[in-house]
Amino acid sequence: MELEVKDRSGKVVGSISVKENILPEEGNVHLLYLSVKSFLDNQRLGTAKTKTRGEVSGGGKKPWRQKGTGRARHGSIRSPIWRGGGIVFGPVPRCFYHSLPRGEKRKSFLLALSEKIGQQALAIVDNLDFQTPKTREAVSFLKTFGISEGEKVLLVTANRKEGVVRAFANLPLVVVKPVNEVNTYLLLWSKTVIMEKEAFLKLVEVYGGER
């Protein structure tokens, strides 16, 4: 498989060879679902907490006598059926973390990457450096690759580049990540992926491809 490499102006300046067997031929939607669910669940803090009737302050005295008032029998104003009372079966702090097996993580990532390549939504650029990190330059760069305002874009660099991060900082739908922080969720979240050549070569090396 040959993938084109372009420069900042969108001109083709080379290509990258990737082994055919590195990308899965058939999709597994359920595996992608599990991968995304795992990622989102692991972002949850799990700190939500409500108080039960035993934790709410007050309520030590019976609000009125048992008989003779014509009202219902109550023993505490902190009963769950009272306003301001305890909560029944409310959330308590818990850990939502869970992880997929390494093989499933790998397969889901390659599947998402294969989908982007199949949809022609992956562009490989020889260099993503911005000498002057200006928003107008970032917008101009995206227009060069046919990306309109309002599209979700993932920019993948070989390593963390502050100039690139600052250039796209004012564009909320553009996410800039070094290649070691890219995951299945980000690939599926974005409509277009723009990846540095060096970053893509690192992925090829890690997943067993050849240059």
* SS3 assignment, position 83: coil
Q: Would you give the DSSP letter of residue 131?
A: S
Report the alpha-carbon distance of residue 38 to residue 99 in Å, rounded.
6
Domains in the chain, ordered, with CATH? 2-36+100-206 (3.40.1370.10)
Q: What global pTM score does this model have?
A: 0.84
Report the alpha-carbon distance of residue 145 to residue 83 in Å, rounded.
58
How does pLDDT run across 36-52, given as a tens digit for each residue? 999 999 999 999 999 99
For residue 90, pLDDT beyond 90: yes
Q: What is the pLDDT of residue 210?
A: 44
The residue whose two tokens read 């007050």 is 58
Mean pLDDT for 127-144 is 89
The residue whose two tokens read 């709410």 is 56
Torsion sign (Cα): 46, 37, 123, 138: negative
For residue 25, pLDDT beyond 70: no
Mean pLDDT for 4-25 is 82
- Contact indicator for 196, 125 with CB cutoff of 8 Å: yes
Q: State what percent of residues in the chain have pLDDT above 70.
A: 97
For residue 27, pLDDT beyond 90: no
* SS3 assignment, position 112: helix
Report the alpha-carbon distance of residue 204 to residue 179 in Å, rounded.
11
